[in-house]
Amino acid sequence: MKIGLEMHFQLPTKSKLFCSCSTEGADPNTQICPTCLGFPGSRPALNRKALEYGLMITKFLNCELNDRIWFSRKTYFYPDLPKNFQITMYESPLGEHGHYNLNGKRIGIWRVHIEEDPGRIKRVGKPGEEVSLIDYNRSGVPLVEIVSAPDMSSPAEARDFVAELLVELRHLVGLSASDEQVARCDANISVGEERVEVKNILGLKNLERALTYEVSRQTKMLAAGKVIVRETRAFDEERKVTMPARKKEMEEEYGYIGEPDLGEYNVGEFANSLVLPETPIKRAVRLQGQYGISAVTAKQIVITSWGLADLFEHLCEKIEPEKVVPKLLGPITSNWNAIEQRLDDNMRAQICRVIEDDINGTITDSEARRAIATIAEGGDHVAEDRTVVEDELVRSVNEFLDAHPGTVKDAKNNPKAANSVIGHVMKATQGKFQSKEIVEAVKKELEKRP
């Protein structure tokens, strides 16, 4: 089975691809201007940030970059397309021949380019009286299109691929968090020889569903000796089936020509100047190798929070990684939201100290847990002076001894009688002290008494 994807994600720029209208959603048809409405006399001007994001994604996907790029007009008539052509890239995408490493498997990337989004059509009204309304707020919002090779071999893998890519791109260029629902994919899938294209699948869940349906449909057809014809199908979200789509123009019939208003751009230097930050999945792979932790743990740390991974690496400078992990995924993750808000050098040092104390046995696990909770809420662990803490132990022991003179007497003759003192203090100090410390303190205080 072969599955290839054509993915469209909105780039998180403030303004649209070719005009200064905001990309932020608002009431219908409020974020519009002559350019994104295609008014005669208006003209596009390229948003540099969108180009930058596009190039970053292209580099990230290990594509060969095109030094000279230009835009093209893809002409087709549709009411949501104000100019009746879409400005996209055709002969000169941002990059080609890239690849992505999906859990050790190489997924080919055929091309990456940027283009403008059309408006949105809404059908409203009672059945039989429906009308189409068009909202052009989306018209001109920048999209990146990523076309993969048919290298995925199951619907679940296709879903994993898109999900992972979204995690990476969110960190790389800041795609919005709702992209899992709005990621738009076209999928090519072949169980036998001939491929079928399923168009306009919205969101990850639907992607997996549409592909799963298509696998079983094609498998059944082949089993029944039927021939699969090359066709375009659409996914019906309600019924969770794919249906033959209206016959859309073949790719070549769009009559592509260059977009003369935008000219050509030499982007090589600009592309080279862009430095890619490390992305979550890549970081997880690095953490796994560098610190010898499991893949699952590494992913868990990074996906939980970028800052958590930072803290992990910080702690590993002083402490062995395998000892850090249980603390990190225990008391630290459970207080992570609070910690993340206040995390600074001081707090990092304090957390480090607590874990060291815990590992050295100078404090108990539960003390460490409580210390971290205190630190998370802005309390100061280091300021908690050990002598003051020890005074508390001595006081607690003496309080009991004062109240139970009989026990003191008994203990003089029978050391086992001290056990009741130890048990009491342990309870009273709520695990703040290790039993060894309590035993010693009790012994010492008893000796002081006549």
Residues 239-258 that bind other proteins (CB under 8 A): 252-253, 255-258
According to the binding rule CB under 8 A, does residue 336 interact with other proteins?
no
Cβ-based nearer residue to other proteins, 19 or 298: 19
In the complex, least distance from residue 163 CB atom to other proteins, rounded to whole angstroms: 36
CB contact at 8 A, 416 and 403:
no
| 261 contacts other proteins (rule: CB under 8 A) | yes
- Tell which one of 125, 244, 263, 292 touches other proteins (CB under 8 A): 263
Closest to 327 (Cα-Cα) out of 303, 308, 346: 308
Would you count residue 73 as binding other proteins (CB under 8 A)?
yes
Q: Least separation, in Å, of the C-beta of 262 and other proteins? A: 6
The Cα–Cα gap between 115 and 86 comes to 8
The yes or no reply on residue 83 touching other proteins (CB under 8 A) is: yes
What is the rounded distance in angstroms from the CA atom of residue 132 to the CA atom of residue 31?
19
> With binding defined as CB under 8 A, does residue 85 bind other proteins?
yes
| Contact window for other proteins (CB under 8 A) among 106-114, 172-180, 260-268, 344-352 | 260-268
Q: Which is nearer to other proteins, 4 or 44 (CB)?
A: 44
- Tell which one of 68, 78, 133, 289 touches other proteins (CB under 8 A): 78
Q: Of the listed pieces 57-65, 77-85, 199-207, 361-369, which binds other proteins according to CB under 8 A?
A: 77-85
Question: Rounded CA gap, 412 and 265, in Å?
Answer: 93
Q: According to CB under 8 A, which residues from 275 to 294 bind other proteins?
A: none
Partners of 342 in the β-ladder: none
CA distance 292 to 18: 48
79 in contact with other proteins (CB under 8 A): yes
- Out of 1, 37, 228, 373, which residue is the one contacting other proteins (CB under 8 A)? 37
- The whole-angstrom separation of Cα 329 and Cα 238 is 40
Under 8 Å CB-to-CB from 415, ≥6 apart: which residues?
none
Span interacting with other proteins, options 72-80, 103-111, 320-328, 377-385, rule CB under 8 A: 72-80
Pull the structure tokens for residue 84.
């009746």
By CB under 8 A, is residue 128 in contact with other proteins?
A: no
Where helices occur in 361-404 by DSSP H, the ranges are 365-376, 386-403
Q: Site for other proteins (CB under 8 A): which residue of 77, 123, 127, 229?
A: 77
Query: What is the size of the binding site for other proteins (CB under 8 A)?
Result: 30
138 binds other proteins (CB under 8 A): no
> Which residue number, 255 or 289, has a Cβ lying nearer to other proteins?
255
Closest residue by Cα to residue 259 from 119, 113, 144: 113
Instruction: State how far the Cα of 13 lies from the Cα of 51, in Å rounded to an integer.
Output: 10
Residue 127 tokens, joined: 């059945």
- Toward other proteins, which CB reaches closer, 60 or 90? 90
Question: Which of 118, 280 has the CB closer to other proteins?
Answer: 118
Which residue matches tokens 């935008």? 262
Sequential DSSP letters for 189-249: EESSSS-EEEEEEESHHHHHHHHHHHHHHHHHHHHTTPPPPPEEEEEETTTTEEEEPP-PP
> Rule CB under 8 A: which of 209-228 touch other proteins?
none
Whose Cβ is closer to other proteins: residue 246's or residue 448's?
A: 246
| Residue 349 found at the interface with other proteins (CB under 8 A) | no
CA distance 160 to 176: 18
- Closest CB to other proteins among residues 43, 318: 43
Of 39-47, 57-65, 364-372, 427-435, the segment contacting other proteins by CB under 8 A is 39-47
| Binding of residue 308 to other proteins (CB under 8 A) | no
Q: Which residues contact 418 (CB under 8 A, 6 or more apart)?
A: 411, 439, 442, 443, 446
3-class secondary structure, 132: strand
Residue ranges in contact with other proteins by CB under 8 A: 34, 37-46, 73, 75, 77-79, 82-85, 252-253, 255-258, 260-263
